[in-house]
Structure 1
Amino acid sequence: MEPKAVGFPHALKALPETVKEQWDKPEFKAYRDAFPVEFSGSQDAFQDHVVDLVSRDVKVSYLKNLQGYLWEEGYRSGQIKAPLFPDVAPMLARWHGRGMKLMIYSSGSVAAQKLLFKYTNAEPSDLTMLISDWFDTVNAGLKTESASYEKIAGNYPDVLPSQFLFLSDNVAEVDAAIAAGMQSKVIFRPGNAELSSDVRERLSVLETFDDLEANLNEKKLEALGKRDRSETEDNEQGETLRREEEVAAEDSHKDKKIKPLDDGKAEERRPSTNRTESDFPAAPSAGTGTTISDLLNEVEQANGN
């Protein structure tokens, strides 16, 4: 998005008439009174200060809020539209369709951000439904301070800071996001100031969202490769463990089996088939005074007969 090409000129163009017609109106007075007192009491001083801030690209919240107010009527009337690079709208829609959370963090106010994304030159024009959250210097802090990115991440305690990817054309902002533990890349677009060789060496620089998509796909494939390797290693370890358990179980089963006796002991325990009369108990002898009839009588008595 290129707000400097359309939004800023429109705001400066609309400023004199707006100041003249709305200086004391409550809706404008709220923006006027947010300026330092030395500029909020005089129309000329007020306008001179706005022009000075814009020319120096100073990002202060009271200026950004005023710009959003000046842009709103231009957007609503169709005089201006937020110009997008051709790859932006299709890629945002694609990422949103994948369930990715898209958030905007800008030095422009949240109100101005929503205007930009509602009135774009894309088709359809309104892209606000693709955006999950909005952050500015009021609800997050200055974009060049790492604490601001920590605050944004703190709004999502279920997401690690390293799972955020912050994109910016401002190197200082990228450094601040990285310091907060986020992933961050420089987006270099036509019209941006040239980047030094040092920046290109130490930071990841992308020129289009298509480049980013290719980079994300490469990382996804790399992650899948690591997972596949990890799963293969786990499977191999599991197979080795399974074999070891099988061997251990087999050894344990063998230990529990009855070992065969040696020949000598087996011979001792084997019953003999050549027994003699002397091996059996001797039959009762008539010389003892007990007869077979006597024995039968004893048996019958024992059985209760």
Structure 2
Amino acid sequence: MSHISVLLHETVDALLADRNTGIYIDGTFGRGGHTRLLLSKLDEKACVYAFDKDPQALAVGAELEQQDSRFKIIHASFAEMQKELNLRGIASVDGVMADLGVSSPQLDQAERGFSFMHDGPLDMRMDNSQGITAAQWLVDIEEEKLANYIFQYGEERYSRRIAKAIKHAGYIETTGQLAEIVKVAHPKWEKNKHAATRTFQGIRIAINKELEDIEIFLPQAVDILKPNARLAVISFHSLEDRLIKQFIQKESTLAEDTGWGLPQKQEDTRRLKKIARIRASDVEVKANPRSRSAWLRVAEKIEK
């Protein structure tokens, strides 16, 4: 299955807000769907910088660089966005977007080791040019820590018994082997879901530091936005969406005065205002089932 960009037009239209020039950031280039549409709506003076950790995504980005001089691809996590832009002399931008989580090519290619649907080497690294594989990570990690990751990041209630079974198995070479170990250890799983769905999610998020990177990325994105510029982020599961929701809520709410005695003048620390929360349409979900769980949240930098 080729990669279909989720909430494509909704994201780009919300990001631009009727503008057609400036400097824009795509924090998760993937296969470039959002970036290509963005470039098609920008004038010749505009520029788009995209980030990705995946070597295959970088190869696609390198081809786009040759085709469009307004575009630059950067091999780094969006958590390093501010540092990388500073190196290039960029202090502020006109919009930042990100499409979180794992991409369709990563899931569909057995050799990437993300999915139990295609048996392959147990890898799971978004940047498979560095770091250790999931197979080695599972050998190295303590059972209690593994159980905590599966519980927290996979929201798996049977994490303890699953972690115990994984550690008891020793070195696990393939995704199929891991899926079978989890299936045997799992007493009861959700209808229409594989027993290993939550465990795979928990392990993948932990290995790639996905939630940690989001927590680092969001404040940086607001720091570099110009006044009235926008942040648009697509999430695919509750853990991601909760982080984005709470961040925007905090940045767009006037802090309460918790002091005692006479009222004190509050400093307005708000940096954002909420613009939209958008779900994929029924038409899109029918055409691309992976968009079913997607949420797009949009916020705008307040001019002070």
TM-score, length-normalised on structure 1? Answer: 0.25
Q: Which has the higher helix share?
A: 1
Q: Which has the higher contact order (CA 8 A, sep 6+)?
A: 2
TM-score, length-normalised on structure 2? Answer: 0.26
Bigger Cα Rg = 1
